[in-house]
């Protein structure tokens, strides 16, 4: 894997591992992210892992920029081949028509039965590549090829919070109400983002997610428990 | 009684901003903070606040505020703005100096002139508990600041101090340079290779005009289109404040402080950190010309800017405290016509 260091002005450097969405590339990015965070390099203020690169933000008045790239290079070599522990989240998902405005359309476009789409979506273990677009928005993959569709040609101006969506090889959950162009095939009653939490996003890049089908009644019950702060999302530690 | 500032009229877009919310870009939350960190810092220093203290950022049009505290000390920095206190016997305090006001005073922040933004610092600051380490407002997600939004008429913003000492006031020895004609310095990349050589040459030799689509997320520019060499979609990667991204239209967008933390358009160049405030202040309709520098030069320029800010703070003029005659201030405030000739 060829690694490139791309300057982002005088406040960040992007360490690029590739130019495609790929699990091997993603693992390399997430490994380096963990090592850079642990290394506490002088002046480094935060890191942002994406599909294919790690952006290392630094304070231009505090960082030793001459040694920053060599230090990061050392960490890349150091990190090869090691596994990083992460979490597997079990996310309740309601695929009933009332929560899945685009499911019929997705079935029509893909030629798959709606039941089959739900089965495929709820039996795949998804990898969280990155969070972006909006606070707490997880880009998760990969969808089975049979489900891959381009984005909607007419994006919605308002997608409800909790909507489970698909586009291309990705699936996501809208953490808060926002505009959106992905196909909505279900909804979760859980909260993915809350600025009152010390770490405001439930998921981290590198975590795994499985969607577990629930009924509309269960959806309402869980949503009430979430509102009362009495619901905990099931989660287990895994070594990826 | 809680000391407060009451909003009589909110201005166009007045928010609480501090040094910014650092550490959550990996979950999609931008740092926010001021468009013009230099002016925010000077305003805070004028009232004796620490550099990153929360203050009010005002865009294009200032608010009218009433003092509901025994006394407050405020300072305004930004453009040609001034503070008009009272109505019948109006006092005018120019930008760049602190002033102590008392309960019942009503003041208006007027005319920013050539700057988009101005900052009103209050000694002790608004009493806003930090959210995720910062009092900055990220309006798009309703996070931080005063209820996650811009101020509205009738809001009462709580203050940390109920009263402030009578003491000499501070004034800037020289106005903040708006640098309206200064070329904006950029480092090429991170996706320089997604553009033709012609596109880079065009970027560095043309006038771009800031369009009306300019807000805290980004400033959309209008000018000669920039040609992509390998298409205009990239697999999303991280962005920084100042990144100049070029969507399919070829018209560049400078990402500003409420930037999306990741993006799928290639970025031809990045405005250096020293020049973010220069861009931040520049109004829609004004031109921008870009010039390329390398990273070491950008770091040196930022260091020089930092030294200049420190010098400006060390060189604050002392202004006689309220109630004493301050001829220099009277002259600059233009309150007493003929003062200059009378002294000659």
Q: Which residues of B touch A135 (CB under 8 A)?
A: 24, 27-29, 141, 143
Of A47, A195, A196, the CB nearest to B26: A47
Domain locations in chain A as residue ranges: 4-81, 86-239
Whole-number pLDDT of residue A86: 86
Architecture of the domain made up of A86-239:
Beta Barrel (2.40)
Nearest to B237 by CA among B167, B306, B189, B180: B189
Helix (H, G, I), strand (E, B) or coil at B86: coil
> Which residues from chain A sit within 8 angstroms of residue B25, using beta carbons?
46, 48, 57
| Residue A81 CB coordination number (10 Å) | 5
CB A200 within 8 A of CB B24: yes
B184-303 under CATH 3.40.50.1220, yes or no: no
Of B25, B27, B189, the CB nearest to A6: B189
Cβ–Cβ below 8 Å for B236 and A132:
yes
Confidence of residue A240 (pLDDT cuts 50, 70, 90): low
pLDDT band at A84 (very low <50, low <70, confident <90, very high): low
CA of B274, closest CA in chain A: separation in Å? Answer: 9
Strand, helix or coil for residue B319: strand
Architecture of domain A4-81: 2-Layer Sandwich (3.30)
**A124-137: b or e for each residue (b if 16 or more CB lie within 10 Å)?**
bebbbbbbbbbbbb
A5, closest residue in chain B (CA to CA): B190
pLDDT band at A82 (very low <50, low <70, confident <90, very high): low
Pull the structure tokens for residue B250: 């070829």
Pair of tokens at residue B140: 């798009």
| pLDDT of res. B338 | 34
CA–CA dist B197, B218 (Å, integer): 25
The interface pTM score, or ipTM, of the predicted complex is 0.93
Report whether pLDDT(A169) > 50: yes
- Verify whether the Cβ–Cβ distance A60 to B302 is below 8 Å: yes
B19 touches chain A (CB under 8 A): no
| Mean pLDDT split into 10-residue runs, chain B, 344 residues | 96 98 96 98 98 97 98 95 91 96 97 94 97 97 96 98 96 91 96 97 98 96 96 92 96 97 94 98 97 97 98 94 51 43 33
In chain A, the residue whose alpha carbon lies closest to the alpha carbon of B238 is: A55
Q: Do B141 and A176 touch (CB under 8 A)?
A: yes
Rounded to the nearest angstrom, the minimum Cα separation between B328 and chain A is 37
Out of A21, A33, A132, whose CB is closest to B28?
A: A132
Which of A19, A52, A135 lies closest to B28 in CB terms?
Answer: A135
pLDDT tens digits, residue range A6-22?
999 999 999 999 999 99
B8 to chain A, minimum CA–CA distance in Å? 30
């Amino acid at each position: 894997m060829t690694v490139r260091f791309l300057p982002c002005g005088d406040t960040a450097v992007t360490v690029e591992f590739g130019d495609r969405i790929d699990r091997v590339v993603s693992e390399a990015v997430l490994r380096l992210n963990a090592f850079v965070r642990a290394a506490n390099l002088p002046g480094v203020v935060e890191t942002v892992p994406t599909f294919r690169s790690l952006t290392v933000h630094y304070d231009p008045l505090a960082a030793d920029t001459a040694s920053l790239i060599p230090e990061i290079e050392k960490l890349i070599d150091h990190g090869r081949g090691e596994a990083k522990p992460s979490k597997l989240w079990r996310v309740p998902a309601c695929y009933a028509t009332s929560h899945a405005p685009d499911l019929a359309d997705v079935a029509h476009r893909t030629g798959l039965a709606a039941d089959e789409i739900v089965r495929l979506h709820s039996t795949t273990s998804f990898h969280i590549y990155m969070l972006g677009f909006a606070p707490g928005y997880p880009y998760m993959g990969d969808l089975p090829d049979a489900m891959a569709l381009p984005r909607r040609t007419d994006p919605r101006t308002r997608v409800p919070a909790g909507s489970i969506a698909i586009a291309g090889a990705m699936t996501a959950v809208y953490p808060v109400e926002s505009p959106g162009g992905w196909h909505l095939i279900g909804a979760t009653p859980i909260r993915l983002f809350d600025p009152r939490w010390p770490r405001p996003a439930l998921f981290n890049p590198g975590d795994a997610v499985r969607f577990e089908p629930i009924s509309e009644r269960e959806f309402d019950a869980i949503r009430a428990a979430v509102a009362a702060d009495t619901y905990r999302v099931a989660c287990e530690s895994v070594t990826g | 009684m809680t000391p407060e500032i009451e909003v009589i009229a909110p201005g166009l877009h007045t928010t609480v901003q501090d040094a910014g919310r650092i550490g959550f870009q990996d979950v999609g939350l931008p740092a926010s903070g001021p468009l013009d960190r230099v002016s925010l810092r000077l305003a805070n220093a004028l009232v004796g606040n620490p550099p990153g203290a929360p203050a009010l950022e005002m865009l294009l049009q200032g608010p009218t505020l009433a003092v509901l505290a025994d006394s407050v000390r405020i300072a305004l920095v930004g453009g040609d703005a001034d503070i008009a206190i009272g109505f019948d016997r109006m006092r005018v305090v120019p930008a760049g100096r602190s002033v102590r006001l008392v309960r019942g005073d009503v003041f208006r922040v007027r005319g920013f002139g050539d700057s988009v933004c101005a900052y009103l610092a209050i000694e002790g600051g608004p009493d806003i508990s930090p959210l995720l380490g910062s009092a900055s407002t990220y309006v798009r997600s309703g996070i931080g600041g005063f209820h996650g939004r811009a101020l509205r008429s009738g809001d009462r913003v709580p203050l940390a101090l109920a009263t402030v000492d009578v003491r000499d006031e501070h004034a800037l020895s020289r106005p903040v340079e708006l640098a309206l004609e200064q070329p904006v310095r950029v480092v090429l990349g991170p996706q320089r290779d997604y553009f033709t050589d012609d596109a880079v040459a065009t970027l560095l030799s043309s006038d771009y005009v800031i369009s009306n689509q300019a807000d805290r997320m980004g400033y959309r520019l209008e000018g000669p289109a920039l040609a992509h060499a390998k298409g205009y979609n990239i697999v999303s990667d991280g962005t920084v404040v100042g990144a100049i991204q070029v969507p399919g239209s070829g018209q560049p967008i400078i990402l500003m402080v409420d930037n999306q933390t990741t993006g799928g358009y290639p970025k031809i160049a990045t405005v250096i950190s020293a020049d973010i405030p220069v861009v931040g202040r520049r109004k829609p309709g004004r031109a921008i010309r870009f010039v390329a520098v390398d990273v070491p030069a950008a770091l040196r320029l930022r260091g020089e800017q930092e030294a200049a800010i420190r010098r400006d703070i060390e060189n604050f003029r002392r202004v006689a405290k309220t109630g004493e005659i301050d001829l220099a201030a009277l002259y600059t405030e233009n309150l007493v016509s003929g003062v200059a000739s009378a002294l000659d």
